[in-house]
Amino acid sequence: MPTASIAKSGNHDLWLQILKEVEPSVKRPHFLTWFQNTAILSVGKKSIVIGVPNIFAKDWLEHKINTDLLEAVQRVCPAVEELIFEVDSNLALPNDSRALNVNRHFAKNAKKVRKLAGRREVKLVEGVSSKCLNPKYTLKKFVVGPNNRLAHAACSAVAKAPGALYNPLFIYGGVGLGKTHLLQAIGNEILKNDSDQVVVYMTSERFTSEIVEAIGKRNSKAFKDRYRKVDCLIIDDIQFLANKDRTQEEFFHTFNELYDHNKQIIISSDRPPKELSGLQDRLVSRFEMGMIVDVSLPDYETRLAILHAKCREHEVLIHAEVLEFIAMNVHESVRELEGVLLQAIAQAQLEHSTPTVRSVAKIVKKLGRSKEVRGLIESAVETSGIEIKSAEDIIEVVSSHFRIASDDILGNSRKKHIILPRQISMYLIRTELKQAYEQIGESFGGKNHTTVMHAVEKIEDLLKTDKRLLGDINSIKKEMGL
Ligand code: ADP
Ligand code: MG
């Protein structure tokens, strides 16, 4: 039916023309939301019928911009006096050719950066989209140690001057050692310095599926053209391109195109280029043209520094010895290190306590990595709760929780890190064993009952506001099986 299709495309163009008129007077987010999938359904002598995909769009268009829209319509079709809005839910279907895709037609001069609920979405040249730049990955938050110093330095240099120094930048290393973090951090940094840069981050699997899609639609030229507009192309986990010849072919061309124009290319892999079997030699030799850096397993000090950094990031306070314990026992990857820490935090929050060496040891054991858990007596992991019968029992649990000697608790030291555990012990003996103040004073080397009273009151007072203390006391009680 040639007439119908002419009418259809005629309306389509007319609507596009009208929307170009109206666009400047509507805020961009509103414009993109409410005109998406709209269409002119019919044109009468004095009215036009505008189809909208849902009642909300109808409501907004009718009430918020009816006059502006009518004026815009009249600039194009002066005879029109009335706009009629009709809901047609078919317009929202992806294959309804009547509906106008404003996101496509009104993509802001090819590129635009916008923020989406914490995650930076980079809207790119028509058809290329890269979400996935997670703002939490920054160079600043990356803890540097001997295992990744060079990689970090190379990333910082590339972020400062993309395309100028190390091109391509190739980062390799085992699972969970920070490759994705570094890659995304460069992307974030480049955009921070210049939000007009077109940064594309994607995994090689995603790249493959885009190519497959393009081939399916027989428009691999369009695919190539789109990638020409990219300033920085980041491909994560390139090893997955192994044996995908057609994808490698396309990637090779994209690579050359970008490289020849001094556009930055950054690649990560689980192994060095030479060991990438299943990858064409010409690609491997391209990778070797630039800078190759590795990330390896962090040593104990770096692991500990990472744990401290993550605690700051999550705004939690955890005893140093607990972090030391994790650092000592989790050494396979930073992801695991972070995982144990997050589990410990979550569990402690659930139980209103703070993580202890004992509670963390259980989590580490579940990982099943090391047969023996270092820094802890095996039996201590298994026992859950000791029977508490006397003041001595409580003092013992408190002293081991704070990693101090019970003699210190019983002594007269005025050091802060001793006084608090002492007062906690008095408080627990009073509240759990219901002993008289005098009797408690006796257990503590004959201290005056007012000292004990004062200690108990102080802890009670602190508990009203001090979350950390509350956590400590809950953990101690848990250790005592209370
Ligand atoms: P990969 O891509 O190498 O498998 P990721 O980049 O996904 O590893 O890292 C796993 C987790 O460990 C991420 O949450 C990342 O932030 C964290 N991480 C890795 N290395 C570091 C580091 N040096 N400093 C801070 N966080 C790190
Ligand atoms: Mg990764």
Residues of the chain by 3-state class (helix, strand, coil), percent to 5: 55, 10, 30
CA neighbor of 171 nearest in space, from 243, 265, 251, 240: 265
Report the alpha-carbon angle 308-314-319, nearest 5: 45
CA torsion 351→356→357→363, rounded to 10°? 20
Identify which ligand lies nearest to the alpha carbon of 342: 1
Q: Which of 257, 278, 295 is the last residue of a domain?
A: 295
- Looking at all shown ligands, the one closest to residue 334's CA atom is 1
Distance 191 CA to ligand 1 centre (A): 20
For residue 390, pLDDT beyond 80: yes
**pLDDT computed for residue 196 by the predictor:** 86
Q: What is the position in ligand 1's atom list of the atom closest to the CA of 184?
A: 6
126 plus 249 within the same structural domain: yes
- 138, 181, 308, 337, best to mutate for ligand 1 pocket (most atoms within 8 Å of CB): 181
Nearest ligand to the C-alpha atom of residue 304:
1
- Is the same domain home to 305 and 415? no
Domain count for the chain: 4
Residue to substitute in 177, 186, 296, 307 for testing ligand 1 pocket (most ligand atoms within 8 angstroms of CB):
177
pLDDT of residue 387: 65
Same domain, 220 and 325: no
Domain boundary (105, 122, 148) is at 105
Alpha carbon distance 13, 29 (integer Å): 22
Same domain (yes/no): 314, 246: no
155 lines ligand 1 (CB under 6 A): no
Section 355-377 average pLDDT:
74
User: Would the CB of 175 count as within 6 Å of ligand 1?
Assistant: yes
DSSP 100: B
Which residue among 84, 105, 126 closes a domain? Answer: 105
- How far apart are the C-alpha atoms of 232 and 220, rounded to whole Å? 20
Question: CATH no. for residue 316?
Answer: 1.10.8.60
pLDDT exceeds 70 at position 6: no
Residue 310 scores a pLDDT above 60: yes
Any domain includes 1:
no
Residue 384 covered by a domain: no
Q: For residue 124, what pLDDT is reported?
A: 46
CATH number at residue 43: 3.30.300.180
Q: Tell whether 124 is covered by a domain.
A: yes
**Looking at the domain assignment, is residue 379 inside a domain?**
no
- Counting from 1 in the atom list of ligand 1, the atom nearest the Cα of 237 is 2
User: What is the model's pLDDT at position 134?
Assistant: 86
Q: Are residues 310 and 206 part of one domain? A: no
CA of 333 to the centre of ligand 1 (A): 8
Q: 268-281 b/e with 16+ CB inside 10 Å = b?
A: bbbeebeebeebbe
Query: Does residue 386 lie within any of the structural domains?
Result: no
C-alpha triplet 282, 287, 292: angle, nearest 5°:
150
Q: How confident is the model over 137-156, as a mean pLDDT?
A: 96
Question: For 177-207, how does the pLDDT look when each residue is reduced to its tens digit (9 = 90+)?
Answer: 999 999 999 999 999 999 888 999 988 998 8
Which of 171, 238, 335, 336 to probe ligand 1 with, by most ligand atoms within 8 A of CB?
A: 335
- Is 172 near ligand 1, meaning CB less than 6 Å away? no
User: 288 and 307: one domain?
Assistant: no
Q: Do 250 and 271 share a structural domain? A: yes
Q: Which ligand is nearest to the CA of 240?
A: 2
Looking at the structure, do residues 397 and 286 belong to the same domain, yes or no? Answer: no
Provide the pLDDT for residue 2: 36
In a domain, 347, yes or no: yes
pLDDT tier at 448 (50, 70, 90 boundaries)? very high
Residue 111 has pLDDT above 60, yes or no: no
Say whether both 180 and 41 belong to one domain: no
**Residue-level pLDDT at 376:** 57
Shortest-distance Cα residue to atom 21 of ligand 1: 178
Ligand 2 is an ion; its neighbours by CB within 5 Å are 179-180
CA–CA distance, 383 with 479 (Å, rounded to integer): 9
Answer yes or no: is pLDDT of 450 > 60: yes
Structural domain that includes position 432:
391-479
Query: Would you say residue 385 lies in a domain?
Result: no
Distances in Å between the Cα of 389 and the Cα atoms of 180, 347, 350, 393 are 53, 28, 28, 7
Looking at residue 208, which CATH number applies to its domain? 3.40.50.300
Do 246 and 279 contact (CB within 8 A), yes or no?
no
- Does ligand 1 come within 6 angstroms of the Cβ of 421? no
Q: Which of 7-21, 55-69, 332-346, 401-415 is the least confident region?
A: 7-21
Q: What atom of ligand 1 comes closest to residue 337's alpha carbon?
A: 12
What does the alpha-carbon distance between residue 291 and residue 132 come to, in Å, rounded to a whole number?
25
What is the domain-level CATH number for residue 464? 1.10.1750.10
Average pLDDT over residues 41-51: 91
* Range scoring the smallest mean pLDDT among 195-199, 388-392, 426-430, 449-453: 388-392
pLDDT grade, residue 132 (50/70/90)?
low
Query: Do residue 399 and residue 435 come from a single domain?
Result: yes
**pLDDT digit string, tens, across residues 315-331:** 888 888 899 999 999 98
Q: Is pLDDT larger for residue 430 or for residue 389?
A: 430
Q: Give a yes or no: residue 372 inside a domain.
A: no
Residues 101 and 73 in one domain: yes
Cα–ligand 1 centroid distance for 172 (angstroms): 13
In a shared domain, residues 252 and 206 = yes
